[in-house]
């Protein structure tokens, strides 16, 4: 191995934060320190990509929160009322539809 390659390898090894064992199901727990550094929360996605050095790079994709999406699309009509009440009603409607779909199976 060239001296320059050894130097690059040593630099990369300094950045190792943790080592984990893969389960028989191919699962691995992301260490708390890594989750904090990447600001990963339950429901977020983790994207694995291969860089030009043949290394796997992991990055987080934040889950869209409902409140973050408000105002993106124009409303068909103005709806007056408490947002939480409207949201609960929408959830009930979705639950009824989901239950109806299960009965059809």
Q: Please write the tens of the pLDDT for every residue from 17-49.
A: 889 999 999 999 999 999 998 899 988 999 999
* pLDDT of residue 69 exceeding 80: no
Which three-class secondary structure state does DSSP give residue 34?
helix
How much is the pTM? 0.47
Check residue 3 and give its pLDDT: 73
Determine the Cα–Cα distance for residues 46 and 94; give it in Å rounded to an integer: 28
The model's confidence at residue 55, banded by pLDDT at 50, 70 and 90, is: confident
Determine the Cα–Cα distance for residues 25 and 28; give it in Å rounded to an integer: 9
Residues forming a β-bridge with 59: 47
Residues forming a β-bridge with 61: 45
């Amino acid at each position: 191995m060239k001296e320059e390659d050894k130097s690059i390898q040593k630099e990369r090894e300094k950045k190792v934060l943790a080592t984990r064992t893969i389960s028989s199901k191919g699962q691995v727990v992301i260490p708390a320190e890594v989750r904090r550094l990447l600001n990963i929360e339950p429901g977020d996605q983790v994207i694995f990509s291969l860089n030009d050095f043949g290394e796997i790079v992991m990055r987080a994709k934040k889950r869209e929160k409902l409140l973050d999406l408000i105002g993106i699309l124009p409303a068909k009509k103005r709806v007056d009322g408490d947002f939480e009440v409207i949201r609960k009603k929408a959830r009930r409607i979705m639950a009824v539809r989901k239950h109806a779909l299960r009965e059809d199976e």
